[in-house]
Structure 1
Amino acid sequence: MQGIRESLEKLRRRASRNREVRADGGTVTEKRRETEGSVLQSEFVQSLPFWLPPFLLMGFFVYGAIGWNLIISFTDFADLTLPTYDPAAFDLEMYRRALGDPNFWAAARNTLALLVAFTVLCLVVGLALAIVVDREIRFENTFRTIYLLPMSLSFVVTAKVWAWMYNFQSGMINITLRKFGLDFLAHHWISDPSTKLAAVIFALIWQFSGYAMVVYLAGLRAIPDDHFEAARVDGASSWRMYRRVVIPQLRASTIGAAVVLMVFALKAFDFLYVMFGNNPGPAADILATMMFREAFASNNWAYGSAIAIILFLMALAVVGPYLYSEYRRGEL
């Protein structure tokens, strides 16, 4: 018994030497326990079950797929032959092939033309509609709903509707022209290479100009009435007031709407595929349809992956600067 008491006393003295007393009378051991408890009760730890599973799923199915696509673009994957995943065999052959492919440059030009023309014209039409609706017209909510309704339609529905509208014999456009004696204006809108891409851009403007209108309308309603009153007191005409006072204050609305519209332009694959199939021809072919055609119709998987990576970089060039500017402003 005496030996047991001596052993317990030694353990007690050793524990007292390793334990420092805090200023409030507590011990370092107690402080460590409080810290561990606070970590487990922190908002970050408690929120893990809510954001970690979707974060992991998105990381695997989205960013993991992008990474795998990038790896495939460095291989010679084609037809039913398995790719060689040896890093020593990776090269830029598919990207060099794209740079030397006339079809790629035609699709790239069409993609840029669609991106710029659709975005600019959609912003102009949306701004005009927003100014008209903002002038306190009757049935404002009705007009706003009518203008925004096409955006609720999918690319597939829009393509089917406009394919019928553009039909040379039974399309509404040519029927209307013939009814008013303008037969000479009737045209093969989506089969003539000179008007094919313009027809696509016009249909997409019809679908998304309502979105630009809503964004601009919110920006117009956010401008203080004092600015309008000051411009009227100075004798500014309506045109001068909007050009000098109103439109410069819509910069944030313009940038935000432009980024969203450019992303939609890069995602116009559904529209062109439904209207033309996987080969719209050089006049309307874009990188998205070319990527699908090379990968899934011709089984050139590596070449299709390289085109997809180039398209991804274009989308990143559109969204990246906007996200960076929002981060610098503290909005992210």
Structure 2
Amino acid sequence: MKSILFGVLGGDHGERSDNDSAADGDSLRADGGTADTEVTSGRSFDVQSFLDSEFVRSIPFWGPAALLMGLFVYGAVAWNAVISLTDWEGLGQPEYANFDLSMYSRMFNELLEPGSNFFAATRNTVALLIAFTVITLVLGLLLAILVDQGVRFENAFRTIYLLPMSLSFVVTAIFWSWMYNPRIGLINETLRAVGLGALTQAWLSDPRFKLASVIFALMWQFSGYAMVVYLAGLQAIPTEQYEAARTDGASTARMYWRVIIPQLRSSTTSAAVVLMVFALKAFDFLFVMFGPNPGPSTDILSVMMFREAFMSTNWAYGSGIATVLFLMALGVIAPYLYRQYQRGEL
């Protein structure tokens, strides 16, 4: 009887021991990282932490804008690049089956022909880009140095010089079209009034002066911006450096050339990038002033792109020119952004 009772009790004890061993085995697997429940809970924790992150919570604020920009800006840029690889002429649908570089080959061949429209537009675009940027930077620096001398009404001068930049290219083009008018324009009227009537010109009709007139008008509009950028850089330089240069006997011109201007490289780079981008965007200025056919002396790539795409219905060729313009703008901005990234300012 005792043996039977002992056996029953021992059997129960054995079953409990087996269950406990199985439970211990499960716990060991959990400690060893092999249990499915622990992995599942860890993964759920990672997902929950991601859902609770600031990035996810901020999506409703920047997500719609990023989606719209990605679709209508970067998506349009990508589609334009695809169109440039076709031979679409605006009739029917473009053929996406065969892609080639025929439009870019055509542009390259025309670039080697000095009498072609693409050569003239590229030449004028580069000339406008360089001349406008350099002259505007120099004028802005001179204005900033003069204003930085502590003249009276400094804030008023700063506002007056910066005001033209607030005007659109359309307004500026209409304003300067009147200024350059050969009969009633202010420039020729002023020259006649001071006895210099022999210097009057048909500024917007003579091919010798058309591009220079455009550069001068754009310089008037953006020199105030360059002045403000340089003025901020000048005011960030400690006054001790000015005093030390004067103590060493340096003249004002030498002090600025040797001590002050070298410290304005960051201001020069920032202003130059903005000015070059505006030079590439001068389509509306040229279009309002000269129309879609400004002539070989003032034709630029953006106007040629409009003319080829919307007037001649050469959509593929116009898209190729637009892609070249995009790459030019990217070539201006990308090195600046990379430099800013290396310096930890992005």
* TM-score, normalised with respect to structure 1: 0.91
Counterpart pick for 2:81 among 56, 70, 78: 70
- Determine helix, strand or coil for the equivalent of 2:307: helix
Structure 2 CA distance, aligned partners of 1:42 and 1:316? 33
Counterpart residue identity of residue 178, structure 1 = R
Counterpart pick for 1:48 among 47, 59, 62: 59
Counterpart pick for 2:226 among 205, 208, 212: 212
Q: How does 1:143-154 map to 2 (within 5 A)?
A: 143-154=157-168
- Alignment of 1:179 with 2:189, yes or no, is no
- Alignment of 1:313 with 2:327, yes or no, is yes
Deviation of the 1:92 alpha carbon = 1.0
Structure 2 CA distance, aligned partners of 1:220 and 1:52? 40
Counterpart pick for 1:100 among 109, 112, 117: 109
Deviation of the 1:256 alpha carbon = 0.5
Deviation of the 1:36 alpha carbon = 4.0
Structure 2 CA distance, aligned partners of 1:34 and 1:62? 37
Counterpart pick for 1:113 among 127, 139, 144: 127
- Alignment of 1:136 with 2:150, yes or no, is yes
Q: Which residue of 1 aligns with 2:172?
A: 158
* 1:231-285 superposed Cα distances (whole Å, 9 cap, x missing partner): 0110100000000000000000000000000000000001000000011000000
Structure 1 CA distance, aligned partners of 2:192 and 2:231? 37
Counterpart residue identity of residue 105, structure 2 = R
Coordinate RMSD, CA, aligned: 2.0
1:20–1:28 CA contact under 8 A, matched in 2: no
- Alignment of 1:231 with 2:245, yes or no, is yes
Deviation of the 1:298 alpha carbon = 0.7
Q: Which residue of 2 aligns with 1:83?
A: 94
Structure 2 CA distance, aligned partners of 1:174 and 1:217? 33
Structure 1 CA distance, aligned partners of 2:260 and 2:147? 15
Structure 1 CA distance, aligned partners of 2:295 and 2:43? 70
Q: Which residue of 1 aligns with 2:343?
A: 329
Structure 1 residues 28 and 60: alpha-carbon distance in aligned structure 2, compared to 1, 3 A threshold: closer
Deviation of the 1:60 alpha carbon = 1.1
Deviation of the 1:163 alpha carbon = 0.2
Counterpart residue identity of residue 234, structure 1 = D
1:40–1:46 CA contact under 8 A, matched in 2: yes
Query: How many percent identity over aligned positions?
Result: 65
- Determine helix, strand or coil for the equivalent of 1:193: coil
Deviation of the 1:64 alpha carbon = 0.8
Q: Which residue of 1 aligns with 2:70?
A: 59
* 1:299-326 superposed Cα distances (whole Å, 9 cap, x missing partner): 1100100111111111111111111111
Report how many aligned residue pairs link the two structures.
Answer: 318
After alignment, is 45-54 or 12-21 more displaced? 12-21
After alignment, is 144-153 or 322-331 more displaced? 322-331
Structure 1 CA distance, aligned partners of 2:156 and 2:294? 37
Deviation of the 1:100 alpha carbon = 2.5
Deviation of the 1:49 alpha carbon = 1.5
Structure 1 CA distance, aligned partners of 2:92 and 2:104? 20
Counterpart residue identity of residue 249, structure 1 = Q
Structure 2 CA distance, aligned partners of 1:247 and 1:202? 24
Unaligned runs of 5+ in 2: 1-15, 111-115
Structure 1 residues 129 and 20: alpha-carbon distance in aligned structure 2, compared to 1, 3 A threshold: same
- Determine helix, strand or coil for the equivalent of 2:208: helix
Deviation of the 1:18 alpha carbon = 5.9
Structure 1 CA distance, aligned partners of 2:324 and 2:42? 55
Counterpart pick for 1:247 among 261, 264, 277: 261
Deviation of the 1:99 alpha carbon = 2.0
* TM-score, normalised with respect to structure 2: 0.87
Structure 2 CA distance, aligned partners of 1:32 and 1:104? 59
Deviation of the 1:207 alpha carbon = 0.1
Q: How does 1:226-305 map to 2 (within 5 A)?
A: 226-305=240-319
Q: Which residue of 2 aligns with 1:3?
A: none
- Determine helix, strand or coil for the equivalent of 2:344: coil
Q: Which residue of 1 aligns with 2:203?
A: 189
Structure 2 CA distance, aligned partners of 1:30 and 1:295? 59
- Determine helix, strand or coil for the equivalent of 1:236: coil
Structure 1 residues 82 and 183: alpha-carbon distance in aligned structure 2, compared to 1, 3 A threshold: same
Counterpart residue identity of residue 57, structure 1 = L
Structure 1 CA distance, aligned partners of 2:54 and 2:216? 50
Structure 1 residues 97 and 31: alpha-carbon distance in aligned structure 2, compared to 1, 3 A threshold: closer
Structure 1 residues 138 and 79: alpha-carbon distance in aligned structure 2, compared to 1, 3 A threshold: same
Deviation of the 1:208 alpha carbon = 0.2
Structure 1 residues 100 and 234: alpha-carbon distance in aligned structure 2, compared to 1, 3 A threshold: same
Deviation of the 1:200 alpha carbon = 0.2
Deviation of the 1:33 alpha carbon = 5.2
